[in-house]
Structure 1
Amino acid sequence: MLKRTFLFTLFILIGFGANAQKPINIGYVDMEYILENVPEYQQASTQLDQRVKEWQNEIEQKRKEINEMKTSLQNERALLTSELIEERKEEIAYQQEQATDYEQKRFGPKGDYMIQKRQLIKPIQDQVFTAVQEIAETRDFDFIFDRNAESGMLFAKNRFDLSDQVLRSINRASNRRQIETKQEERELERAEARTAEEDEELSAREKAVEDRKSERQALIEERRRKQDSIKEARQRAFEERRERILKERQQKRDSIEAARARKDTIN
């Protein structure tokens, strides 16, 4: 229903734009892509995933304990009175109810996971909405959609994708909050004055510089390894020569000692 409504509305807007003097300017963002590239979201998401694992482990432990209670009752049923059997059944039913309530508390529609997920996404959504409004006003967009929403957007050309521009706007806002000196403020102003194409060109140049640095470092490391190899070869040759000389000296002393021993025996 939502998809049909969206498509119907879109067709009307396109038709309106075709008849009007000014064409309708439409763009879209990819919310999932933006979230994946915001460090603050990734850090908080990792923390939430850790909590989820802890909750799941607690639920599994409760289920394990309940299964053990059921097994114990089954094995001991022949030794128990009917009253004790009923008591054990009631205890198992109570523990099952507690486990279900706990699972709903953590993962239900109004549970901790959904609440914390919304709390995690909302600050990023607010930043996205602010950035979208700025871009819409600056570039005169009439409509900007989220392609991951229930909008029925089956296809859109990449040139209408504003996600990277939104990310740049969010990153700039984050950088503004971290400014501490006038120099940093001037550098940020110069960065914000650059267009997306200029940013890409600058990134390409910086990457080329980093690649050259890496190549130089690799050459330095290779020369160092060769020098170390030569030093090690020289050291081994020295040790072998020293060992050979010592061995020859020892053999000579042994020969002299043996000659003296024979002479003493003759005398």
Structure 2
Amino acid sequence: MRKLVLLVVLGMTAAVAHAQAPVKVGYADVDYIFAQMPESKQVDAELKSLQTQLKNQSDTKVQEFQKKLADYQANINTMLEPVRVNTERELQQLQQNIEKFQQDAQTTIQNKQTQLMDPIYKKVGKNIEETAKENGFSFILNQQIGGLDVILYGDEKMDISDLVLKKMGVTPKPATTTAPATTTPAPKK
């Protein structure tokens, strides 16, 4: 990942060196933009609702399994062999159904998240592009990719995040500042 970032930066540097017109590079904090958008709250609410619904269904299936398992364990000594074998098979099937349901639930949540986020990604991308063009930027970088900083230093004047939000009709909320964590170095041995 760092090699990719380095290649992008080197490529941009080469483009700047060979360009006839000045190149203006800016950046945007996409996570910040998403957090400010009203749509993100709706997406979160819909996903939490779906997760709760699926968890309740899973819990019901698990309770049913546990009840049958407890009944089986309580009566195992008095069961006839064919009944015991049939009950064990039924318990195994219930357990497999629970596992499959949980896997399907994860897939359902991921698909729903993709379905809900795609229009937002497109909207943000379109507005970043339009804002960049309107303000004469040649390149706009994302501040972070996969949790890694892409921009190690950037003049705050080159951050177009608030401009993008304003273009979408969202009034940026002031950023909450937190004191940076301080660490005390361990004593040397």
TM-score, normalised via structure 1 length = 0.57
Q: 1:143 to 1:154 in 2, by over 3 A?
A: closer
- Give 1:169 shift: 1.0
The structure in which a higher percent of residues are helix is 1
Q: Distance in 2 between matches of 1:23 and 1:81?
A: 87
**Partner of 1:112: helix, strand, or coil?**
helix
- Preserved contact between residue 28 and residue 161 of structure 2 (Cα < 8 Å): yes
Question: Is 1:140 paired with 2:136?
Answer: yes
Q: 1:153 to 1:20 in 2, by over 3 A?
A: same
**Matched residue, 2:63:** 64
Q: Distance in 2 between matches of 1:51 and 1:80?
A: 41
Count of residues in Structure 1 that have an aligned counterpart in Structure 2 = 170
- Preserved contact between residue 13 and residue 24 of structure 1 (Cα < 8 Å): no
Question: Is 1:83 paired with 2:108?
Answer: no
Q: 1:148 to 1:57 in 2, by over 3 A?
A: farther
Q: Distance in 1 between matches of 2:151 and 2:159?
A: 14
Question: Residues 4-52 of structure 1: CA distance to partner in whole angstroms, max 9, x if unpaired?
Answer: 1121221232244245444432222222211221113312321221121
Structure 1 unaligned runs (5+)?
A: 173-198, 201-267
- Preserved contact between residue 26 and residue 143 of structure 1 (Cα < 8 Å): yes
**Partner of 2:169: helix, strand, or coil?**
helix
The two structures, once aligned, show a CA RMSD in angstroms of 2.3
Structure 2 unaligned runs (5+)?
A: 173-189
**Matched residue, 2:113:** 117
TM-score, normalised via structure 2 length = 0.78
- Give 1:123 shift: 1.5
**Matched residue, 2:161:** 163
Q: Distance in 1 between matches of 2:15 and 2:30?
A: 28
**Matched residue, 2:104:** 105
- Give 1:146 shift: 2.4
Same amino acid, percent of matched pairs: 21
Name the aligned partner's letter for residue 131 of structure 2: I
Question: Is 1:35 paired with 2:34?
Answer: yes
- Give 1:61 shift: 2.2
Alignment of 1:197-208 (within 5 A): none
Name the aligned partner's letter for residue 136 of structure 1: A
**Bigger radius of gyration among the two:** 1
- Give 1:91 shift: 0.7
Q: 1:88 to 1:115 in 2, by over 3 A?
A: same
**Partner of 1:171: helix, strand, or coil?**
coil
